[in-house]
Amino acid sequence: MRKAHKSVSIGLLRQSPRPRHVAQRTSSGAWLMLSGAFAAFTISAGLMHSYAVFLVAFIEEFRWSRAETSVPYSVSQLVAGASSPLVGALVDQLGPRRLLMLGGGLLVLGLLGSSFISALWQIILLYGVIMTIGANCLGLVVFVPLLSRYFVRRRGMAISIVQSANGFGRAASAPLVQSLISTFGWRNTYLMQAAFMAAVVPLLASLFQRAARYPIAAEPAVASGSAAPISLPSPGWSLTEAMQTPHFWLLFAVYLFTGLGSFLVSLHQLAFAVDQGFDRLYAAGVLGMGAFLAIAGTIFTGTLSDYIGRELSAILAYGISIIGVVCALAITGPNQGWLLWLHACFFGLTWGARGPAITAKTADLFPGPQLGTILGVITIGSGIGSAAGSWAAGWIFDLSGSYRLAFMLSIAAYLCGCGAFWALRRPPARPGARPPSPQRVRTSP
């Protein structure tokens, strides 16, 4: 009797070959790109976040309400979101060096003009529009697609290092700008910032020019021990294809709720501390020291996302941020400095810490030459949430005389962000792709 042999049709049951390693080391150009991106984003973030310090000076000099002084920042966030698709498309076509020069020039123009303002509409135009577009040209929409090509296995680490520049710039700018304003006045401080930016932009541009001379040496495609191995890239996603998936809109919602939760608190932190009776320089120093923790927190959570997954690392960051907001809610007077420190540390530790997980998740789900454009459109959600949070917190204070409700809404927004991110666990199906038919197992006699 012949022994029956089972033959299994190949189809989907065939295992893919092990990914080919293009190179075992990251090129020198990759590290130069990473260094340049970190420096550029640090400077632009520091300039933009320093508005929280200027806000207090504007309230004193012009007697604007909290809601009015929040309008330029809210407009800034809307413009950042609206201009992100354009910036993303431009970086796909022109490269980072040219955008850096353009962005630096716009920042210098905005800073110079801001030193002469006398009306609210002027700072809305200069800060909310001109400086914001300039800063966007030195931001994540430009650098994430670039670094995603240079770093594959350690994509989360690379993006987290650049994202940590946001916290570094924010931390350094608060006490430094407050000190400059106290010594020289806010108008002269703007002039000093403009001179610094004009001097540093050519240096950053030359760094990117040097880095571009090196060839891309990709890393291994699979990380040992990684929670979500990254395979060799499939045909790239277009913006139209991405927008037809629920994952695109979930990422949009994640950005929106994260921006809303963060900016219901962050723009008004210093004003809140001063209202509670803390000395202005002391409060700026405490909040600045707390913001420095964002460097370690962002790098840690971003690198962690390469091993435990983007979702879990983001949820961890959301939880720590919520603890920080709860500490702020517990402050009732200047004798509770320890609570201000706890708020600054917990909230600062995870400021921007979700960014690497979100941007890396976007690169994981929608790889390809249009990643910059896709990321730019998704970033509109961040602009809407950040703008709404910044203005709403000031409006709530004007109505109630307290930030308490704003901080409670921040916690609710963070919880919504957790839920949206958790729903991104499974990769999207490409629109129009036919699901494979199940293969039969045939038995041959």
- Only one residue has tokens 């370690």, namely 296
Local confidence band at 289 (pLDDT 50, 70, 90 cut-offs): confident
Highest mean pLDDT among 95-99, 175-179, 183-187, 221-225: 183-187
Taking only the tens place, the pLDDT of each residue in 410-442 is 999 999 999 999 998 887 777 765 544 444 444
Which of the two residues, 7 and 108, has the higher pLDDT score?
A: 108
Contact of 403 with 67, CB cutoff 8 Å: no
Which residue type sits at 336?
Q
Contact of 175 with 299, CB cutoff 8 Å: no
Residue 230 has pLDDT above 60, yes or no: no
Residue 129: the pLDDT is 96
Q: 3-state DSSP call for residue 231?
A: coil
CA–CA separation, 168 and 189 (whole Å): 20
Q: Quick one: tokens of 123? A: 């700072």
Residue 58 has pLDDT above 60, yes or no: yes
Within 10 angstroms of residue 425's Cβ, the number of other Cβ atoms is 11
Q: 3-state DSSP call for residue 403?
A: coil
CA–CA separation, 22 and 114 (whole Å): 49
How many residues would you count in the chain?
Answer: 445
The CATH code belonging to domain 23-211+238-428 is 1.20.1250.20
CA–CA separation, 40 and 162 (whole Å): 9
Which of the two residues, 148 and 67, has the higher pLDDT score?
A: 67
**Max Cα separation, the chain?**
101
Strand partners, 441: 8
Residue 258: the pLDDT is 93
What is the average per-residue pLDDT within 379-386?
Answer: 88
